[in-house]
Amino acid sequence: MSVSVLIPTALRRFSSNQSEIAVEAQTVGTALELVITLCPDLRKHLFNEQGVLRSFVNVYVNDEDIRHQSGLDTPVTDGATVMLVPSIAGGVVVEALKQEAEEDLPELTNQELNRYSRHLILPEVGLTGQRRLKNARVLLVGAGGLGAPVSLYLAAAGVGHLGVVDFDVVDESNLHRQVIHGTRDVGRLKIASAADRIYDVNPRVNVETHEARLTSQNALEILADYDIIVDGTDNFPTRYLVNDACALLGKPNVYGSVFRFEGQASVFWAKEGACYRCLYSEPPPPGLVPSCAEGGVLGVLPGIIGCIQANETLKLILGGGDVLINRLLLFDAWKLRFREMKLRKNPECPLCGENPTIHELIDYEQFCGLRPAEPAEGEPEAPPQEITANELNEWMNARRDFQLIDVREPHEYAIANLPYEKLIPLGQIVNRSSEIDPARDAVIFCKAGGRSAQAIMELRAAGFAGRLVNLQGGISAWSDQVDHGVPRY
């Protein structure tokens, strides 16, 4: 049987950048083994040491999850498509989120009737629906690439109460995709810039800003006051935190994520269907899926996915249409292709399954492997092997004997590079480890520090014996702290 195995962007550096590999196989397991034979570096990202498929990678035959079929023994027919769906961080018609009596809904002014007239003549919205929108409370977690279109379109649609959680400031590199901010906003708090733009779109919207990093300590309190939560996060700890908090509070989580040219969208609502943990029970290891800052993102992509999130939010408020519950929508902007995958509630889900074990928020940095577990009593904590940009500059000025290894991609090297460096992209680092002298200190760097940390982990796991030091903040820190002539991208 001729089978096409689709490789997502996050894994293509381990498949020689191939997006599709054709093999002859009769089962999913055989197809994956043949792909791994052709691309050996994929094995550790798909299977653990015991040969078990990793839980942060889902496998679909056409649009069906093999976990709900025969697993790796699932048969494939001639021309079938096997799709790998790693975490990148059937429709259900639901009733309107809040079943208020019509007399309890806020009235619309004459100005609002004029403003929303194109909504009012839609029978699916009408006067009652528009009053529901005015009464709704929606929280946006993040005022970045996804939060920008969501907030603008929800404000324009007349959602009466919008909350925005963010703690970051606007950077010039945000502007190619975060359309809620402008050039004059560089250096401002994102929540302040977002609030100004929302009020400009619709001064009748009430905006509540939360200048904070969402944590296990404040999430339940902040989310409790809202009807719907829109996840516009860009990291796995916050994504799991939002999912868990929504499930514990019984609130719908309108999910979106983007990476390079690919996006995902769904609605996770534990009382109606699957939650994010049903899809991905554990996060990928740190560094496997870079952030947008590390991996890049096509500027228009967050706009497309954010508009889908806004669309699903409006449907939840209005109580109409097939909401993306128990469905995962995949979008490839480069090929302009949508795919839809069926989701099912996992009866063994530790959060929303039949016998849940998660009853409170946890340490999500530790859960996602970004902070090690506390050492056992009496066990010394290993000091981090890191160096700052200024310290690296001192090493260079002192002509210290060391090697500088760049694990970025060649197209990034062409934008900015450092003196005397050697380029070994992350996907090649283990196979080319012989090019690193174990007798000399090696400073490993990337754009911001994430991929270089992953490279060090992979080299150590492969048995590399030399001293490996991570450059904090990568070449971006070098540009900020040492040499402004090195372009920042």
Instruction: Please identify, among 336, 367, 398, the residue that sits at the C-terminal boundary of a domain.
Output: 367
For residue 182, give the CATH number of its domain.
3.40.50.720
Instruction: Please identify, among 86, 118, 149, the residue that sits at the C-terminal boundary of a domain.
Output: 86
Beta bridge partners of 445: 406
Instruction: Please identify, among 334, 367, 400, the residue that sits at the C-terminal boundary of a domain.
Output: 367
* Domains identified in the chain, total number: 3
Q: What's the rounded Cα separation, in Å, for the pair 366 and 364?
A: 5
Least confident residue range of 64-73, 156-165, 385-394: 64-73
Burial of 305 (0-12, 13-18, 19+ CB in 10 A): buried
Contact in structure between 210 and 120 (CB atoms under 8 Å): no
pLDDT > 90? residue 306: yes
Active site residue 275: no
**Residue 223: which H helix or E strand, with range?**
helix 219-223
Active site residue 446: yes
CA distances 226 to 141, 219, 304, Å, are 12, 12, 24
Residue 474 lies in a domain: yes
Contact in structure between 278 and 352 (CB atoms under 8 Å): yes
Report phi then psi at 343, rounded to 5: -115, 155
Domain of residue 475, residue span: 386-481
pLDDT > 80? residue 286: no
pLDDT digit string, tens, across residues 52-100: 888 778 899 987 889 888 889 999 999 889 988 877 654 455 666 777 7
Q: Are residues 194 and 247 part of one domain? A: yes
Q: Are residues 206 and 324 part of one domain? A: yes
Q: Are residues 410 and 320 part of one domain? A: no
pLDDT at 384: 53
pLDDT at 85: 84
pLDDT > 50? residue 414: yes
With a CB cutoff of 8 Å and minimum separation 6, the contacts of 99 are: none
Question: How many Å is the maximal CA-CA distance in the chain?
Answer: 78
pLDDT at 93: 54
Q: What is the 3-state secondary structure (H, E, C) of 71-132?
A: HHHCECCCCCEEEEEECCCCCECCCCCCCCCHHHCCCCCHHHHHHCHHHHCCCCCHHHHHHH
What is this structure's pTM? 0.79
Q: Are residues 423 and 355 part of one domain? A: no
pLDDT > 80? residue 287: no
- Half-sphere exposure at residue 177, Cβ-oriented, CA atoms within 13 angstroms: 24
pLDDT > 70? residue 361: yes
Q: What's the rounded Cα separation, in Å, for the pair 85 and 58?
A: 5
Q: What's the rounded Cα separation, in Å, for the pair 313 and 100?
A: 18
pLDDT > 50? residue 48: yes
Residue carrying the six token digits 């399954």: 353
Residue 430 lies in a domain: yes
Report DSSP state, residue 471. E
pLDDT > 70? residue 224: yes
pLDDT band at residue 336 under the 50/70/90 scheme: very high
pLDDT at 295: 77
Q: Are residues 295 and 197 part of one domain? A: yes
Residue carrying the six token digits 């279109």: 149
| Catalytically annotated residue among 246, 275, 292, 349 | 292
Least confident residue range of 162-171, 362-371, 430-439: 362-371
Residue 375 lies in a domain: no
The predicted model gives 382-389 an average pLDDT of 77
Q: Are residues 144 and 80 part of one domain? A: no
The predicted model gives 196-202 an average pLDDT of 97
Report DSSP state, residue 159. -
Q: Are residues 289 and 185 part of one domain? A: yes
Residue 110 lies in a domain: no
Q: Are residues 210 and 269 part of one domain? A: yes
For residue 443, give the CATH number of its domain.
3.40.250.10
Residue 340 lies in a domain: yes
Q: Are residues 301 and 178 part of one domain? A: yes
pLDDT > 50? residue 379: no
State the chain's mean pLDDT as an integer. 91
pLDDT at 233: 93
Residue 426 lies in a domain: yes
The predicted model gives 420-445 an average pLDDT of 96
Q: Supply the DSSP string of 336-376, one letter for each residue.
A: TEEEEEE----TT-TTTSSS----S---HHHHTTSSPPPPP
Q: Are residues 435 and 302 part of one domain? A: no
pLDDT at 145: 95
pLDDT > 90? residue 166: yes
pLDDT > 80? residue 203: yes
Q: Which of 403, 333, 392, 317 is nearest to 119 (CA)?
A: 317
Q: Are residues 330 and 427 part of one domain? A: no
Residue 124 lies in a domain: no
pLDDT > 50? residue 381: no
pLDDT > 80? residue 294: no
pLDDT at 92: 54
Q: Are residues 344 and 252 part of one domain? A: yes
pLDDT at 100: 73
Residue 379 lies in a domain: no
